[in-house]
């Protein structure tokens, strides 16, 4: 049987961000989108600029992969990292819940 591939030449290829590249999308430049990484997935959270824009309550989470901060519900600088080493099972469950229920459901993926 032939295999059907979902190939769309008009679709953008996945973008891979370095730490330096995603840092440019931290909400400090109003002409740029606002990006946030969670579990290695980069979301465009620009539609939530009231939460993530410069000077907003969750601005510390953007421009980086903040997986640990999301899992711990923390804005402490030491938690604003992708590193999940030592997180409790409760924190990991919370991370998965917020990742699926908020970020994947609400914001477009722009890269990894």
Check which CATH number belongs to the domain holding 94 and give it: 3.10.120.10
**Contact of 14 with 5, CB cutoff 8 Å:** no
Distance of CA 71 to the CA centre of its chain: 12
The pLDDT tens digits for 81-95 are 999 999 999 999 999
Residue 4, in any domain of the structure? no
- Measuring CA to CA, which residue among 53, 71, 59, 64 is closest to residue 18? 64
pTM (two decimals): 0.87
Q: What is the pLDDT, as a whole number, of residue 14?
A: 81
Domain count, the chain: 1
């Amino acid at each position: 049987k032939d295999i059907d591939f979902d190939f769309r030449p008009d679709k953008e290829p996945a973008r891979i961000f370095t730490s330096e590249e995603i840092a440019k999308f931290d909400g400090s430049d109003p002409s740029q989108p606002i990006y946030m990484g969670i579990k290695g997935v980069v979301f465009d959270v620009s539609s939530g600029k009231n939460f993530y824009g410069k000077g907003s309550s969750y601005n510390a989470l953007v421009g980086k992969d903040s997986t640990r901060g999301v899992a711990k519900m923390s804005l402490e600088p030491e938690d604003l990292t992708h590193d999940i080493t030592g997180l409790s099972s409760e924190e990991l469950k919370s991370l998965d819940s917020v990742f699926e229920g908020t970020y994947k459901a609400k914001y477009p993926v722009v890269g990894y």
